């Protein structure tokens, strides 16, 4: 998809389809819209062919007095729109465009359309919304379904063209990161395994000279003392790998992203129920989001120092797999009693968290993981859980999520919950019982991040959609992470 910015008048714009956001009273119609077109739209409303209700669309062929071949009206409902409603409205417009046969289209910006957001925000987030609405994953179909013919999308508006171009560049970068995250998440587990992710990292490094990649093999991890990581990885014939991507766009201590990438999670000896187990290919969503954020950062050439660590393993129940009751020693020296082998994400993460602190001395560490079903129960699919040992870091992530419509919700990390992890035989257990499962998982990770500013994102509810036509990876929380890193770079 090619995107562009234009300051042309709509009366002179030649395009396959001009898209207009229209409310019930047609108050949003631009002043430079030809009188004949305005009259035509008002007549359509009067005749009740179009109401302007939220997300309603109407395609008008050969609109009056316009050089555009088609006019697509998209209803706004109440004004101004909430940011999330804007994204949904634009997605509805793209669905109508896909059916129209249009090869190129133009969206007319309006500074009063979205509550508390200007046209720069509309361009940035609109670019991502269009890209996400057009996304397809059909590389494994013998005969791929016919996709949308749409290849060009232009934003029409007044203002600083340089500022609009920069907003567009940012939107395209985040969209590219989201697409990579979705592509990795949607890969079947017989194709996407730890070594495959390593190949993807090396491919990124070839595309972006500022990115350097290194790998810790499972054998090396065992020699280094990563007993927790290896306890998960050893049950699979496919070796676990810890993938490190370092982007050095600035000097000084780095910010670190650490992603859980369990490329398939059977639950291990604590085997999961069979129903829906195909979705356990998405258990590498945290690692996929790290890949997406790295790509976006490279596209934007952000002036930051970033170290991204992806802890990749398969959790399989073979004869070498860890058992409930096993005790392992983590890289930090702390011992863990494994009471449930399906609580494996925190095991691969804790050694990766320790390693990145020992090796790179980051000023901030953020880990991302599809960690607990309890998080899905608590927050559903709308918000990822945000835990942090630093108030300002939590606020920065939450603000980034609000701005990018990739929202999070603050969760408690109180010492009161820590005792649920007590073990009679080791320093801690890897589960904290049936209550507050997402919180105790975060408490577990907090024991490996006491000396650094740290946040944990539990994305079990947001990383993928489970059913229906939309089933698949969402690309979250790439927008939140990228917005946070952009804000960090600008500060």
Rounded to whole angstroms, how far apart are CA atoms 70 and 106?
11
What is the distance of C-alpha 93 from the center of its chain?
22
- For residues 47, 49, 50, 54, the Cα torsion angle rounded to the nearest 10 degrees is 130
pLDDT at 207 over 90: yes
Can you give the pTM of this predicted structure?
A: 0.97
Residue 210, both tokens = 């500022």
CA 54 to each of CA 21, 122, 164, 333: distance values in angstroms, whole numbers, following the listed order = 10, 17, 26, 56
Domains of the chain in sequence order: 2-156 (3.40.220.10), 175-490 (3.40.630.10)
To which H or E segment does residue 195 belong? helix 194-207
Known catalytic membership, residue 346: yes
343-352, pLDDT tens digit by residue?
999 999 999 9
Rounded to whole angstroms, how far apart are CA atoms 229 and 345?
9
Rounded to whole angstroms, how far apart are CA atoms 293 and 181?
8
- The one catalytic residue in 54, 202, 248, 272 is 272
Q: Where does residue 363 rank: exposed (0-12), middle (13-18), buried (19+ CB within 10 A)?
A: middle
Nearest partner of 228 among 215, 214, 240, 244, judged by Cα: 240
Burial 246-274 (b: 16+ CB within 10 A, else e): bbebeeeebbbbbbbbbbbbbbbbbeeee
Q: What 3-state class would DSSP assign to 31? A: coil
Whole-number average pLDDT of the chain? 96
- The one catalytic residue in 346, 407, 447, 483 is 346
277-311, pLDDT tens digit by residue?
999 999 999 999 999 999 999 999 999 999 999 99
Rounded to whole angstroms, how far apart are CA atoms 282 and 195?
16
132-162, pLDDT tens digit by residue?
999 999 999 998 777 779 999 999 998 899 9
Known catalytic membership, residue 323: no
Q: In the Cβ-directed half-sphere of 157, how many Cα atoms lie within 13 Å? A: 28
- Tokens 């119609």 correspond to 29
pLDDT at 169 over 90: yes
446-484, pLDDT tens digit by residue?
999 999 999 999 999 999 999 888 899 999 999 999 999
Rounded to whole angstroms, how far apart are CA atoms 96 and 86?
15
Nearest partner of 292 among 456, 83, 480, 88, judged by Cα: 480
């Amino acid at each position: 998809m090619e995107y562009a910015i234009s300051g042309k008048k709509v009366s002179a714009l030649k395009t396959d389809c001009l898209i207009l956001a229209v409310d019930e009273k047609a108050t949003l119609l631009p002043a430079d819209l030809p009188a004949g077109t305005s009259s035509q739209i008002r007549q359509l409303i009067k005749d009740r062919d179009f109401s302007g209700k939220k997300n309603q669309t109407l395609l008008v062929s050969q609109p009056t007095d316009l050089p555009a071949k088609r006019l697509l009206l998209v209803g706004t409902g109440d004004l101004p729109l909430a940011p999330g409603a804007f994204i949904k409205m634009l997605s509805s417009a793209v669905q109508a465009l896909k059916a129209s046969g249009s090869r190129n289209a133009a969206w007319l910006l309006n500074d009063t359309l979205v509550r508390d957001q200007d046209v720069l925000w509309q361009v940035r987030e609109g670019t991502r919304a269009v890209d996400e609405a057009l996304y397809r994953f059909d590389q494994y179909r013998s005969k791929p379904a016919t996709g949308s013919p749409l290849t060009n999308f232009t934003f029409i508006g007044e203002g600083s063209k340089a500022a609009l171009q920069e907003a567009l560049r940012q939107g395209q970068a985040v969209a590219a990161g989201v697409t990579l995250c979705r592509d990795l998440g949607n890969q079947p587990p017989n194709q996407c395994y730890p070594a495959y992710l390593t190949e993807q990292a090396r491919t990124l490094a070839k595309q972006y000279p500022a990115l350097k990649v290194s790998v810790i093999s499972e054998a090396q991890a065992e020699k280094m003392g990563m007993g927790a990581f290896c306890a998960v990885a050893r049950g699979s014939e496919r070796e676990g790998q810890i993938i490190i991507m370092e982007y050095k766009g600035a000097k000084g201590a780095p910010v670190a992203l650490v992603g859980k990438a369990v490329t398939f999670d059977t639950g291990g000896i604590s085997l999961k129920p069979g129903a829906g187990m195909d979705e356990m290919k998405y258990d590498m969503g945290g690692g996929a989001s790290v890949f997406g954020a790295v790509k976006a950062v490279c596209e934007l050439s952000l002036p930051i120092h970033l170290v991204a660590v992806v802890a990749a393993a398969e959790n399989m129940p073979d004869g070498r797999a860890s058992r409930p009751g096993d005790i392992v020693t983590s890289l930090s020296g702390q011992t863990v009693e494994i009471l449930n082998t399906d609580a494996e994400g925190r095991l691969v993460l804790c050694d990766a968290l320790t390693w990145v602190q020992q090796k790179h001395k980051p000023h901030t560490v953020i880990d991302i993981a599809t960690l607990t079903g309890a998080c899905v129960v608590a927050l559903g699919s709308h918000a990822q859980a945000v835990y942090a040992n630093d108030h300002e870091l939590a606020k920065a992530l939450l603000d980034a999520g609000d701005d990018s419509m990739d929202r999070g919700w603050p969760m408690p990390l109180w010492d009161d919950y820590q005792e649920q992890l007590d073990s009679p035989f080791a320093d801690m257990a890897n589960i904290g019982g049936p209550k507050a499962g997402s919180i105790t998982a975060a408490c577990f990770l907090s024991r490996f991040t006491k000396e650094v500013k740290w946040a944990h994102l539990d994305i079990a509810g947001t990383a993928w959609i489970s059913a229906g036509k939309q089933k698949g990876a969402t690309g979250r929380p790439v927008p939140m992470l990228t917005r946070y890193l952009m804000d960090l770079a600008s500060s």
